[in-house]
Structure 1
Amino acid sequence: MTETGVDRFRKAILLLTLTGLIAGLALLAAGMGGIADIVWFAGVVPALTTLVVEIVSRLGRGEIGLDIVAALSMTAALVFGETLAAAVVAVMYSGGTFLESFAEGRARRDMHELLARAPRTATRHRNGGLEDVPLDLITPGDRLLIRQGDVVPVDGTVDALTAFVDASALTGESLPVRLGRGAEAMSGVTNAGEAFDMTATRGAKESTYAGIVRLVAEAQQSKAPMSRLADRWSLGFLAVTLAIATGAWWLTGDPIRAVAVLVVATPCPLILAVPVALVAGLSRAAHFGVLIKGAGPLETMSRIRTLILDKTGTLTDGRPQIVSIDSHGDVNETELLRLAAALDQASRHPVAQAIVAAARARGLVMPVPSEVAEIPGEGVVGSVAGRSVIVGSDGFVARRVGRRSGEHPALAAGSLLVAVGIDGHMAGHLVMSDPLREGAAAMLERLRRAGVVRVLLATGDRAEVAERVTGGLGFDGLRAGLTPDQKVLLVLSERKHGPVMMVGDGVNDAPALAAADVGVAMGARGAAASAEAADVVLLVDRIDRLGPGIEIAQASRRIALESVVAGIGLSVLGMIAAAYGYLSPVQGALVQEVIDVAVILNALRALRIAPKGPLPAERPARGG
């Protein structure tokens, strides 16, 4: 039965019990008490049968929950003829389980596909022509054509002189990577340059991308199931209930006293208040751009002790930006950027588009280039407003202008140098880098105040790049050059310190997100795989929303616990009153209703939770 099927089934049980209760009350008012008892009995049976099946199933898994108290109260009430009390308990219990199912299923969908961008076919050279074939038909040795923008379907080696690929989804490297002839191209990377040929070295099922898919599935299956918050109180509450009910029957000889105790003890405050508080917390978190996929992840999120952050696209912006402009000769920085961006308008290269975006952000007017020629993996040449312009790698431009490569300031690790030649001379350089996200330092400080004791950086990027970008943030550890399976091992090893939260955005992060106690994906621009595998998705492209999200989770759990404690306390007082004969079973059910209302009203306070301190402001959209 699918999750949707479970929800529908529980809704049907609730409607049956509620209909039986109302119909029986109507019959009782009409003076047909005997028929009312039959209707109430009939209304209770479906709920009780379902409950017994669930109890047996959970006992088979070694779990003992508060469901046992509810089953005992309904069974005792039916056995001793207190059908109205049984009907009230059945309605409240079925209502509670439906609410809990709603809380757990909120925003959670079955992982129907790992990645929306996954290729389904490949273009293969065959008999002097090209054919599109399903991935399953690709075998090692096949020669494939990878068009611009295509995702590489299988692992292989590059046949072209150069290929330019965006590997950020797999390796965490934010800047495009140049591959020479014979270099390995991993499945899952995107062709960011001109079309190129490659020779397949593995079939689709054995390739890198397929391995990541399997890692996600295995990690999700290995994650320990989240126990319900209320069940942690079950053994003690069950023992107290049975002791009071047995004592009342044994001391008075009246089984109705025991029935009344069991009815009052029905754990509706626990079953209702917890999901209400947690659902309210889910709603509040979503209001601030933090989508939490269920009450279980929200509760776990409130107890996080270790935070593991990916770098590219998570801690950093994930898009190359100009950090400095070094102009030479008579060309000033503004003119250098204007001419370079004007020429780069003719290129779809990510770096070229970043240069164009920077010029537009400064309000520069860019003429339309002419006589443009793009050399894949090297650069672009053309004419802009009558001037000869070259933009590309330092070596490429240096060869074109007759200057030795390397005559420029030292480049910091992780930066990219773009040279610009104008009218046959080296006019300057644009230094580009992937900047740290705005508010990252403040976010880490806020999370430490919220109880996170360990913060680690885990990246597929090089160590020197990670150290340069994150210097001064005070990480408790830095792990660089990690593959997807190594990120999973890091998550599992950190569990000894407490619940672990992993934050990432790329395909390579998906297995670790699935393995973590709470996986958080950057949903605004992140890969579909990470969003599917994660328990939490940040709907706005700001990592500093993590702080408010954890604060809301903690407040929701605190309100849920307050409701549990208050509900148990009031129920115990009611049980004692019933044991002394002050409450009949029906009166006990009504008292329980009052307790239910009280704890639910308290749980609804979670709808007014506000994060501590100022909420990070939205950054304006990038100009274009």
Structure 2
Amino acid sequence: MAAKRAEQFPTLTMVVEGLDCADCARLIERTLGALPGVTSVMALPASGAVRVTYDPTQVDPARMHAALSAVGHPPVLPETAAPRSRQADRRLLMAGLGIVTLVMLTVLGEAMGWLDRLQAILPWPIWLGLTLIVSAPVIRDVSRAAWHRHVTAHTVMTLGLLAALALGQWVTALLVATFIRFGDMVERITTARARTAIAALAAFAPHAARVEREGQEVLVPADAVQPGDIVVVRPGETIPVDGLVISGQATVEQSALTGESVPVEAEAGMPVYAASIVRLGALRVQATAAGEGTTFGRMLRLVQEAEANRTPIQRIADRFAGAYLPVVLAVAGITLLLRHDGVAAAAVLVVACACPIALATPVAVLAAIGATARKGIVVRGGAVLEALAQADVLLLDKTGTLTTGRPSLTAVVPADGWSADTVLALAAAAERDSEHPLAEAVREAARMRGLAIERPDRFSARPGFGVVAQVAGKTVVVGREPEGSVPETLATAAASLVQAGNTLLWVNVDGQPAGVLAAADTLRGDVPLALAELRALGFREIMLLTGDHPQVAAAFAQSLGIPYRAGMLPEEKISVVQDYQRQGRRVVMVGDGVNDAPALAQADVGVAMGVIGTPAAIEAASVALLREDWMLLPALVRLARQTRRVIWLNLGFAVTYNVLGLSLAASGMLSPALAAAAQTLPDLVVLGNSARLLRGLRPVHAVPQPGAAHCQRSHCRS
């Protein structure tokens, strides 16, 4: 009961100041999580936002605002414009050049003895004042964190700065403070650069809608539109809701959703989606969803929350960073005890920095997720990318996945005593409320024959079997199996249809077969090439899992050169996934996200194909491809593997560099000034290495080779 009540608690989203690193996120989550009545906290550096679920009877937003302000992260108004990547690149380049120049001057000044002569020019109070002015924000943040029993990446370096001041190393202390501030600047700019793709996506979010109310057009907030409202969209405007066009005609660009700039033509009866732009024409749209309930709203929320799904590598790095402070303090203490050298001990504290270790994973993941979002791909976190990078088994659904999902009815065979139109009309009525692609084929065939599609009195879907409905006082079951005894003539016709590669739908009325419907689908043209690419990427097993008839499944599987299992129920697909997982294999399951959602959830990576306008599928899968493009899958696998390589390179470099720096500082070979210069360089390397992922997906443009396997049956031709 408590869990049920918690699900009904409101969720507050706040954009907060200074949320641009993992340390900030942990401090915010710990601070808000300690408030009574707060049930969950999610700090999201990618969007600079915090999502809090809370019990309003115990805590209110004002108290949460006060708690955030106390730790230096007060809520602020969200930015209305996305940062420009080129501007961020220029700022990053200038900051990097500034750091490199300062490092060179520090090294040269140390070698030539300029730092000591510079320190003698001014009295120590001036050096102290300059150091405190430059380091004030750092000391403030570290002190706030310490007050809340939180250690940040700058805690150790701040101790080194204070040690330099205690030893009278005034110029060194000022250099340490300056390098820390430069490092923070680079981190903020890089985080902003990594945010660019996600922020650009958020900029497409519609803010207002023109709604017809009592014969007048009224401008209201987009998330205030109710299902059933009529929304007017004029040329050049963004469609603010998901809905159906009830009048008008227009060219609509859906690049914010699918990553494709190729427009589609919208007219009466067609669905349209929020964040699409009307380029030519005007539309009147009846809303079906608004705000976060739209396809775009769900996509944006999942992309923004993706970074909270931390990879196993990131959890290891977080634990390492947490243990780093006591290790560094121990090294500094041992250095002071054995060498009696306070300067060397101070250098140990200055050179130690956990920033590159903390940044190694989140910046890389953030860049990769932002890059995929631009292409209409929703990836639910770094853990998904890591699992995808290690996967070696690919399981495939058929209808709507390997096929276009738009089958057409090829035959209606009635049993004795029934007419073809009556059988089709009953089947269409039973399938009236079904979302399955075969159901749409049945309804379309009935409409083409001019048959009325009656509304059923009762309806229920049985995944893997079909549908059951009460139509005109009759119990109508439409599914893959007949009920009762099948007349020989009907059985012979059904066998012939299956042999031709059709999928059968048996129409049973009051427990007896009234007829059989045959439907055929079309294989997607890019599937053979995509599967060849995935094999080349190391997928050792690729298998078709379908609820279809074995002979139909065989036709598709043979054309693709893969094994198959047919006649499968949803729970049987789950069992296959679990069998592979028990063998230690990493499984990718690709489906349409509707009736195969349980198997997608069970797989290590569940990929829902072409899910625009299907919110349930977007929520069910760990990867959602809004565009029906199979070549996105091998491109995504490549990006996942590149992301994993980048993370390991980042971590390996950061750990090696820190160990080397600690060793040199403890041995007295690295002065505090040089240590301050040295600790800024790994940040630049880690951030620059991660920025490679911002280039995004590398699609395959190869041409199928002559002689490649193609399905020659009529239902497989692309």
TM-score (norm 2): 0.47
Name the SS of the counterpart of 1:588 in structure 2. helix
Shift of the alpha carbon at 1:257?
2.4
Aligned equivalents of 2:155, 2:454: Cα separation in 1: 75
The one of 529, 535, 540 aligned to 1:448: 535
Aligned equivalents of 2:377, 2:702: Cα separation in 1: 13
Distance change (3 Å), C-alpha of 1:252 and 1:527: same
Q: What residue is the counterpart of 2:42 in the other structure?
A: 3
Aligned equivalents of 1:46, 1:540: Cα separation in 2: 44
Shift of the alpha carbon at 1:540?
0.7
Q: What residue is the counterpart of 2:139 in the other structure?
A: 44
Distance change (3 Å), C-alpha of 1:48 and 1:456: farther
Letter in 1 for 2:132: D
The one of 606, 611, 616 aligned to 1:524: 611
Q: What residue is the counterpart of 1:293 in the other structure?
A: 380
1:171-570 residue pairs with structure 2 within 5 A?
A: 226-229=311-314, 231=316, 238=324, 245=332, 247-321=334-408, 410-412=496-498, 415-416=502-503, 432-475=519-562, 478=565, 480-484=567-571, 486-495=572-581, 496-525=583-612, 527-570=614-657
Shift of the alpha carbon at 1:463?
4.6
Letter in 2 for 1:530: A
Aligned equivalents of 2:649, 2:567: Cα separation in 1: 43
Aligned equivalents of 1:415, 1:229: Cα separation in 2: 49
Distance change (3 Å), C-alpha of 1:374 and 1:225: closer
Q: What residue is the counterpart of 2:118 in the other structure?
A: none
Shift of the alpha carbon at 1:603?
2.2
Q: What residue is the counterpart of 1:590 in the other structure?
A: 677
Q: What residue is the counterpart of 1:166 in the other structure?
A: none
Shift of the alpha carbon at 1:262?
3.6
Aligned equivalents of 1:86, 1:517: Cα separation in 2: 45
Shift of the alpha carbon at 1:289?
3.8
Shift of the alpha carbon at 1:93?
7.4
Aligned equivalents of 1:443, 1:272: Cα separation in 2: 34
Aligned equivalents of 2:532, 2:149: Cα separation in 1: 44
Shift of the alpha carbon at 1:91?
8.3
Letter in 2 for 1:546: L
Letter in 2 for 1:231: I
Distance change (3 Å), C-alpha of 1:500 and 1:33: same
Shift of the alpha carbon at 1:605?
2.0
Measured against aligned partners, the alpha-carbon deviations of 1:536-583 in whole angstroms (never above 9, x if no partner) come to: 111211233211111112122223333333333433443333224354
Task: Tell me the percent identity.
Answer: 30
User: Do 2:159 and 2:349's aligned partners in 1 also have CA atoms closer than 8 Å?
Assistant: no
Aligned equivalents of 1:376, 1:48: Cα separation in 2: 68
Name the SS of the counterpart of 1:494 in structure 2. helix
Distance change (3 Å), C-alpha of 1:98 and 1:435: same
Distance change (3 Å), C-alpha of 1:39 and 1:612: closer
Aligned equivalents of 2:580, 2:191: Cα separation in 1: 30
The one of 108, 116, 126 aligned to 1:31: 126
Measured against aligned partners, the alpha-carbon deviations of 1:74-95 in whole angstroms (never above 9, x if no partner) come to: 4565577577647965985798
User: Do 2:369 and 2:379's aligned partners in 1 also have CA atoms closer than 8 Å?
Assistant: yes
Aligned equivalents of 1:566, 1:513: Cα separation in 2: 36
Distance change (3 Å), C-alpha of 1:242 and 1:279: same
Distance change (3 Å), C-alpha of 1:412 and 1:352: same
Letter in 2 for 1:411: L
Distance change (3 Å), C-alpha of 1:262 and 1:434: farther
Distance change (3 Å), C-alpha of 1:594 and 1:373: closer
Aligned equivalents of 1:452, 1:547: Cα separation in 2: 10
Shift of the alpha carbon at 1:607?
2.5
Q: What residue is the counterpart of 2:254 in the other structure?
A: none
Measured against aligned partners, the alpha-carbon deviations of 1:420-455 in whole angstroms (never above 9, x if no partner) come to: xxxxxxxxx996312332222322221122122233
Aligned equivalents of 1:514, 1:79: Cα separation in 2: 53
Letter in 2 for 1:570: Y
1:44-63 residue pairs with structure 2 within 5 A?
A: 44-47=139-142, 50=145
User: Do 1:514 and 1:533's aligned partners in 2 also have CA atoms closer than 8 Å?
Assistant: yes
Distance change (3 Å), C-alpha of 1:472 and 1:526: farther
Measured against aligned partners, the alpha-carbon deviations of 1:49-95 in whole angstroms (never above 9, x if no partner) come to: 54897979xxxxxxxxxx7x765444565577577647965985798
Shift of the alpha carbon at 1:492?
3.8
Shift of the alpha carbon at 1:302?
1.6
Aligned equivalents of 2:602, 2:517: Cα separation in 1: 40
Letter in 2 for 1:412: V
Q: What residue is the counterpart of 1:621 in the other structure?
A: none
TM-score (norm 1): 0.53
Name the SS of the counterpart of 1:541 in structure 2. coil
Q: What residue is the counterpart of 1:136 in the other structure?
A: none
User: Do 1:44 and 1:87's aligned partners in 2 also have CA atoms closer than 8 Å?
Assistant: no
Name the SS of the counterpart of 2:394 in structure 1. strand
Shift of the alpha carbon at 1:43?
3.9
Aligned equivalents of 1:571, 1:579: Cα separation in 2: 12
Aligned equivalents of 1:29, 1:475: Cα separation in 2: 77
Distance change (3 Å), C-alpha of 1:564 and 1:78: same
Distance change (3 Å), C-alpha of 1:529 and 1:356: closer
Give the paired residue count. 424
Question: Using CA pairs below 8 Å that are at least 6 residues apart, which structure has the higher relative contact order?
Answer: 1
Shift of the alpha carbon at 1:252?
1.9
Measured against aligned partners, the alpha-carbon deviations of 1:212-264 in whole angstroms (never above 9, x if no partner) come to: xxxxxxxxxxx996324483596599598677545533432234423422432
Letter in 1 for 2:580: E
1:98-137 residue pairs with structure 2 within 5 A?
A: none
CA RMSD of aligned residues (A): 5.5
The one of 562, 576, 584 aligned to 2:663: 576
Letter in 1 for 2:498: A
User: Do 2:632 and 2:699's aligned partners in 1 also have CA atoms closer than 8 Å?
Assistant: no
Aligned equivalents of 1:376, 1:406: Cα separation in 2: 30
Measured against aligned partners, the alpha-carbon deviations of 1:488-509 in whole angstroms (never above 9, x if no partner) come to: 4443442233333222223333
Aligned equivalents of 1:538, 1:512: Cα separation in 2: 17
Distance change (3 Å), C-alpha of 1:3 and 1:9: closer
Gaps of 5+ in 1: 17-27, 57-66, 110-222, 327-339, 359-365, 378-392, 394-403, 419-428, 618-624
Name the SS of the counterpart of 1:601 in structure 2. helix
Aligned equivalents of 1:405, 1:482: Cα separation in 2: 25
User: Do 1:305 and 1:454's aligned partners in 2 also have CA atoms closer than 8 Å?
Assistant: yes
Measured against aligned partners, the alpha-carbon deviations of 1:451-471 in whole angstroms (never above 9, x if no partner) come to: 222334334445554334323
Distance change (3 Å), C-alpha of 1:310 and 1:77: farther
Letter in 2 for 1:471: Q
User: Do 2:665 and 2:671's aligned partners in 1 also have CA atoms closer than 8 Å?
Assistant: yes
